[in-house]
A and B are shown apart, each in its own frame.
Chain A
Amino acid sequence: MASYSTNEFKAGLKIMLDGAPCAIVENEFVKPGKGQAFNRVKVRNLRTGRVVERTFKSGDTVEAADVLELELQYLYSDGEFWHFMDPGSFEQYAASKEAVGEAAQWLTEQEMCQVTLWDGAPLTVSAPSFVTLRITETDPGVRGDTSSGGSKPATLETGAVVRVPLFIEEGELIKVDTRTGEYVGRVKE
């Protein structure tokens, strides 16, 4: 089993903490004038995204987390699992609903996603920061309105609902920032 000494701690290192895979965000060496040295570490739980601060006695070792980040192509969902493929090796991975999480509402087939694997299985899936999606349903636009006006809800092909300007119509392609869920602009076909 691979392990790391606290001497190797640095941002980005993946370690196991309380049974969960975590990434080190920040590491600081702390030592009183004489006496025990410590590593004060900020870690992100890779499953929940929560960041906590913990303390290690310097020189101790901690189990490494077998975590890998891959660019995978989204294939399809069977309702229970979301299936991805490594376009290089053609290896396929099935991600659970928990692993896909919020990303599910932005995924269309063939889309490339960043997938974090833990012990070979998808742990989290990140949608691309920007996606282009077709509007399947929205109220008709108000004639004469401009982009500075109000907004209305629009349902996208993936089922996600975003707020769009009033002049946007059903069937149009729009660009969305998946990090905020906000409309970015129209996409010309």
Chain B
Amino acid sequence: MSDATDWGPGAEMATLRWRAQRIARIRAFFAGRGVWEVETPMLSRAGATDPALHGLESEVSVPVPHRRYWHTSPEFAMKRLLAAGSGAIYQLCRVFRDGELGRQHSPEFTLLEWYRPGFDEHDLMDEVAALLAAVLERPIRSQRIAYRDAFRRHADLDPITADPAHCRRCCLDRGLDPVSGATGERDFWLDLLMGHVVGPALGHGEPCFVYDYPASQAALARVRPGPPPVAARFELYLNGVELANGFHELTDPVEQAARFRADLARRRQLGLALPPVDQRLLEAMQAGLPECAGVAVGVDRLLMIAAGADRLEQVLAFPFGRA
């Protein structure tokens, strides 16, 4: 498991210094745009309800014994700041997601998240592209493609009209033959294609934004009525790697509460833990979350690509295995 050199860093010292410069560049980027840096708690009384996220918990003894949940993103706390009138804010922090470990996944990683009152998702894509130009130190000519068109182009499939059986056949034709977990749901097959076929084909040379997700994959984005209804959500791909996820944020507390309930119902169905819902977020939304767009960028992955590397550990002081 460990050897004599295990105590040392995973990345070259020069890479770590270079990383520090890039982080400074990110802070300078936001300072220049009047977006201020905030820090919010990592340990919350509420957990992430997204069925695809597996949060970590800790037992805390003060002021009375109770359970806290490590944040999987600082989203809820930052939205509480927005509702309290913060204006445009960003945060650079470590977040925690269990069950994710691989060349480009770590249970602990650095996230850059920011919120822009008055922006919609396309305004925010412009700003993400500007940030990329600052970090990568080169002009960026980003592309945009609707989720539906990305699937038509790279998987020869219309993800909106195809039935689950058709989506399944499309996977099998590409050698994606799931041993386990296959469901009759379209989103299972679309996720399989996005992860293995469509995503890896995107953003080679120049970054590519995918937008207008199926309404069933809205997460915390608002849904625009159709037909077909689409989620005001986007993802960013560079060299086939997913780097960012953004929303024109849902601001309706009733709809938010309904999504929490739907998440928990889904988690119950899957036999997953049922963390407490963030009531303070719902209260903040009732008080009034300003119309805004927000995005989270995987900083380790972005720096991995900027460094010409293909494994996260090449840009981390101590990767998960050496922590």
Q: How far is the CA of A28 from the CA of B100 in the complex (A)?
A: 11
Q: Mark B64-107, 1 if CB is under 8 A from A, else 0.
A: 00000000000000000000000000000000000111111100
A38/B178 in contact, CB under 8 A? yes
Residues of chain A lying within 8 A (CB to CB) of residue B182? 57
**Closest chain A CB from B230 CB (angstroms):** 15
Closest to B271 in A: A59
List A12-36 residues whose CB lies under 8 Å from chain B: 17, 28-36
B179/A54 in contact, CB under 8 A? yes
Q: Mark A33-73, 1 if CB is under 8 A from B, else 0.
A: 11111101000000000000111111110100000000000
| From A29, A34, A54, A58, contact of B50 by CB (8 A) | A34
Residues of chain B lying within 8 A (CB to CB) of residue A54? 177-179
Interface: A7 (CB within 8 A): yes
Interface: B269 (CB within 8 A): no
List B233-265 residues whose CB lies under 8 Å from chain A: 235, 242, 245
Q: How far is the CA of A35 from the CA of B198 in the complex (A)?
A: 14
Give how many A residues have a beta carbon under 8 Å from the other chain's beta carbons.
23
A34/B179 in contact, CB under 8 A? no
Interface: B187 (CB within 8 A): yes
**Closest chain A CB from B253 CB (angstroms):** 21
| Contacts A7-B99, A30-B196 given; does A36 touch B191 at CB 8 Å | yes
Closest to A41 in B: B179
Interface: B40 (CB within 8 A): no
Task: Identify the interface centre among A17, A33, A40, A54: most chain B CB within 10 Å of its CB.
Answer: A33
Q: How far is the CA of A59 from the CA of B180 in the complex (A)?
A: 10
Total CB contacts across the A-B interface at under 8 A: 82
| From B105, B175, B191, contact of A35 by CB (8 A) | B191
| From A29, A35, A36, contact of B101 by CB (8 A) | A29
Q: How far is the CA of A7 from the CA of B182 in the complex (A)?
A: 18
**Closest chain B CB from A16 CB (angstroms):** 11
Closest to A6 in B: B180
| Contacts A7-B101, A36-B188 given; does A31 touch B180 at CB 8 Å | no
| Contacts A55-B176, A56-B180 given; does A37 touch B50 at CB 8 Å | no
B101/A55 in contact, CB under 8 A? no
**Closest chain A CB from B186 CB (angstroms):** 12
B181/A31 in contact, CB under 8 A? no
B175/A28 in contact, CB under 8 A? no
Interface: B194 (CB within 8 A): yes
Q: Mark B160-199, 1 if CB is under 8 A from A, else 0.
A: 0000000000000001111111100001101110111001
| From B52, B102, B180, B192, contact of A34 by CB (8 A) | B52
| From A28, A32, A36, contact of B103 by CB (8 A) | A28
B180/A62 in contact, CB under 8 A? yes
**Closest chain B CB from A130 CB (angstroms):** 31
| Contacts A31-B105, A55-B176, A55-B192 given; does A36 touch B181 at CB 8 Å | yes
A28/B102 in contact, CB under 8 A? yes
Interface, chain B (partner A; CB < 8 A):
50, 52, 54, 99-105, 175-182, 187-188, 190-192, 194-196, 199, 217, 219, 235, 242, 245
Nearest 10 pairs between A and B by C-beta? A57-B181, A29-B102, A32-B194, A35-B191, A36-B191, A60-B180, A30-B195, A32-B195, A33-B242, A55-B178
22 pairs, A vs B, C-beta closer than 8 Å: A28-B102, A29-B104, A29-B105, A30-B102, A30-B196, A31-B100, A32-B191, A33-B235, A35-B190, A36-B188, A36-B195, A37-B195, A38-B192, A40-B196, A54-B177, A55-B179, A55-B192, A56-B178, A58-B99, A59-B54, A59-B99, A60-B180
